[in-house]
Amino acid sequence: MSTDKTGTQYTLSSLAAKLSAGLRALAANPSMRGIAGVLVLKASMMVFNFALIALAANVLQETQFGIYSILFSAVGLVGIVATVGQQILLMRSWNEYSANDDAATLKGALKFSALLWLAGTMLATCIFYFWADASYGAALARAATVYLVLYAAIQTTAHLLRASRGVGVGDGYGNLLPVLPAIGYLAYDLATHSAADVSTVLYLLAGGSAVGLAIHAFAFRRRLSARFPDFRKVRSRSETRAWAGRSARLWLSTGLEAANQFLDVIVMGILTTPAIAGGYFVTTRFANIFASASDGMHLFASRHVPDLYYRREYESLSRILNLIALMLAAMIAVGIIGIALGGKFVLGLISADYVQYFPALIVLCLGTAAAAAAQPCAPILMLTGHEGRYLAIIATSVLLRVAGFFLLVPSYGIMGAVTASALSFVVLAGALSYSAHRLAGFDGSVLRLFRRNTGTAQPLAAE
């Protein structure tokens, strides 16, 4: 009896020692530390975004909140389109030319991106203002347009800083600073029972973005000077034809990607009422818990995939993708369980009126979970020269989703909208996983955990 007890104690001690050793190994793994840092950042972003939505839904009147939801989504969509694909092009340019110590071509690429961004933003701003003015009046149009310009700017610089300085500097300042003033304003109004104004919220989002943009400019200037001390004296070299072709494909891809994220709320506003659109907006924001998880992996992947790819360190790249897939699978499982158990409670925290959307939330979460499982494939395709295939995939997904909206929303309302979205996300996930494995040589989705052959390490020629 004592022997069995001693043997059991020895087994438990051995298991505890192995577990402790495994945890220490993970903590010492630079990739794991990087993922942990990204996840902490994404968790912080989720908390602040939740606070912004919860406060806006409680402080603003129902119709006002619906209008805010539509304008916020419209800024997100048009702001990404306004960048003309320069977000991803800047990341690729930095990694590709920095790896080759090609300061001249990098300088040309930075000038090209700045000019194209300026032209795209000016055109998009004019179109957006006239639409907003006709739909919601001049005061809201001015506030939303100011926010649009600064949103487009900080999203572009955040990608450049992510490549050159890291996720914390780029996406940390780029996503947290814009919402803080608006959260403070809405929290004050809630505490004092004061009336809030949608225009003020939009101006405060713009002000926070301006502060983040200034920090980005300072941080990138320091990094550029450290990497290329004589950068000012370097004569720029241009590859305009190649950059223009890449920009066109990336512009369409990122625009359609933004449409997948923001267009649905705008379409709901067209097909229904601002109040219903506001309810759908809340539902999608909670379903985005999976998008937030995949975005964390997306941030990490887009930071390291192009660097390892252009350095041809394919074995290291494969190991990182395995780690990303494992982490993503675990987060998706936890997310599904959390939504199933606590989704109704969380909706009730916003408003008792939103509890009725819990079944729609479950359906949408299944779709967003599928999309999240394949999200790391997007930067793999776009940053390794296969942006054309990604464009075709995202375009198909958007068309399926919009067609589903017009077919299902008039009869089934929000449930029809989430069904259309879920189906389009499943199609998107399957196509991304297959294409990344076939073209880039590496499947970045969760499915790589079940493949016998996860990649050839010999990608096909870039487009």
> pLDDT tens per residue, the chain (463 residues)?
455 555 555 454 554 554 455 445 545 555 555 566 666 766 777 788 888 888 888 888 878 888 888 898 889 888 888 888 888 888 888 888 887 888 999 999 999 999 999 999 999 999 999 999 998 999 999 999 999 999 999 988 988 888 888 777 777 788 888 899 999 999 998 898 888 899 999 999 999 999 999 999 999 999 999 889 988 888 988 888 888 888 888 787 777 777 666 677 777 777 777 777 777 777 777 766 666 666 666 666 666 666 676 667 777 777 777 877 887 888 888 888 888 888 888 777 777 777 888 888 888 888 888 888 888 788 778 767 777 788 888 888 888 888 888 888 888 888 888 899 889 989 998 898 888 888 877 777 888 777 665 554 444 444 4
The span from the CA of 198 to the CA of 136, in Å, is 11
The span from the CA of 92 to the CA of 11, in Å, is 51
| Domain assignments of the chain as residue spans, ordered by start | 29-450
The span from the CA of 76 to the CA of 49, in Å, is 14
Mention every residue, 6+ apart, whose C-beta is less than 8 A from residue 378.
257, 298, 390, 432
pLDDT of residue 294: 60
pLDDT of residue 301: 62
> Per-residue pLDDT tens for 228-277?
998 888 898 888 888 888 888 878 777 777 766 667 777 777 777 777 77
- Residue 319, classified by CB atoms within 10 Å of its CB into exposed (0-12), middle (13-18) or buried (19+), is middle
Amino acid identity at 299: L
pLDDT of residue 206: 95
pLDDT of residue 128: 94
Residue whose C-alpha is closest to residue 280's, from 76, 133, 73, 75: 73
> Looking up tokens 């800047």, which residue turns up?
90
| pTM value surpassing 0.75 | no
Mention every residue, 6+ apart, whose C-beta is less than 8 A from residue 430.
374
Are 287 and 265 in contact by the 8 Å Cβ rule? The answer is no
pLDDT of residue 305: 67
Amino acid identity at 71: L
The span from the CA of 203 to the CA of 191, in Å, is 21
pLDDT of residue 304: 66
Are 328 and 447 in contact by the 8 Å Cβ rule? The answer is no
> Per-residue pLDDT tens for 270-299?
777 777 777 777 777 776 666 666 666 666
pLDDT of residue 19: 47
Between the CA of residue 220 and those of 15, 116, 209, 273, what are the distances in Å? Answer: 47, 19, 16, 44
What average pLDDT is seen over the chain? Answer: 80
